[in-house]
Amino acid sequence: MAEVDALGEDAAAFIFEPLILGSGGMLMYDASAFDSLLAHCRAKGILLIADEVMTGFGRTGTNFAMDQLSTPPDMITLSKGLTGGTMAMGITTCTADIYEAFLSNDKTKTLFHGHSYTANPLTCAAALASLELFLDPACGENRQRIAGQHEAFAKTLEKQAFVKNVRQTGTILAFEVDTGEADSYVNNLAGFLHAFFREKRVMLRPSAIRSTSFRPIASPMRNWLPPIRPFWICWRNMEGKRLNINVINRKSDPHGSDFTI
């Protein structure tokens, strides 16, 4: 808050990822302390812009991460879960106050910006279908089930000597593998795991291994590696420095096949 105060009149807006800073390494933070910061910014007239691209659509245990905070944002950005990952679409939402600031017969007040694919009809249809699924109570139960499984698995992970900083928010579970090197996106383990999984026809990001969250392989990858479509990655039975990993092909091989690194 002191840093915000130091900016004085120069601070126009605060952009944040609520509850989890994904790109910073799946850093999870306390909602109530963050709420105080948001309230402080609001009192100073600083616009609050919540980036819910990663946290939105049920990932954090509520429909949106901001649902767990009491200071509502002025703007929210959405993507990823908007279409269930099936088609590319992003939305920037805003309060009526902001909208009305641009609503004028005075053309100089126009927001002179438009996205190439704004309101693409196919993508909008995918978003509406995805929204219907998202709001289906059965889908909510699935999210709770995933969160419950993560909670149980986190307890197993915590006992492993080479795992540290296990943390969970809703359907997102993250931890660091203690390699003896400094935690970093360029840790050598990243390249090793990337190559290892690629050989098993599972695509991992080559850089973001500092923290790993477990989730179904995003559907856009289907175009990229068609055979991985039905895979789900589970990590289990972690002993010593060895990871026994089970890759389950839910369609043809419900029991999956173990392999070890």
* Minimum distance from residue 20 beta carbon to ligand PLP (Å): 9
Amino acid at 1: M
**Max intra-chain CA distance, the chain:** 68
3-class DSSP assignment, residue 33: helix
Backbone angles phi, psi at 124, to 5 degrees: -60, -40
Site for ligand PLP in 53-82 (CB under 6 A): 53-54, 79
C-alpha distances out from residue 24 to 46, 65, 73, 147, 231, Å: 23, 17, 21, 22, 27
Residue nearest ligand PLP, CB atom distance: 79
Cβ–Cβ under 8 Å, residues 57 and 80:
yes
- Determine if 206 is a binding residue for ligand PLP (CB under 6 A): no
Q: Does 25 bind ligand PLP (CB under 6 A)?
A: no
Q: Could you say whether residue 18 binds ligand PLP (CB under 6 A)? A: no
| C-beta of 89 vs 243, nearer to ligand PLP | 89
- Contact between 90 and ligand PLP per CB under 6 A: yes
Q: What is the DSSP letter of 108?
A: G
Of 17 and 176, which has the nearer Cβ to ligand PLP?
Answer: 17
| Burial grade of 41 (CB within 10 A; 0-12, 13-18, 19 or more) | buried
For residue 92, the minimal CB distance to ligand PLP (Å) is 10
Least separation in angstroms between residue 77's CB and ligand PLP is: 7
Task: By CB under 6 A, name the binding residues for ligand PLP.
Answer: 17, 22-23, 51, 53-54, 79, 90
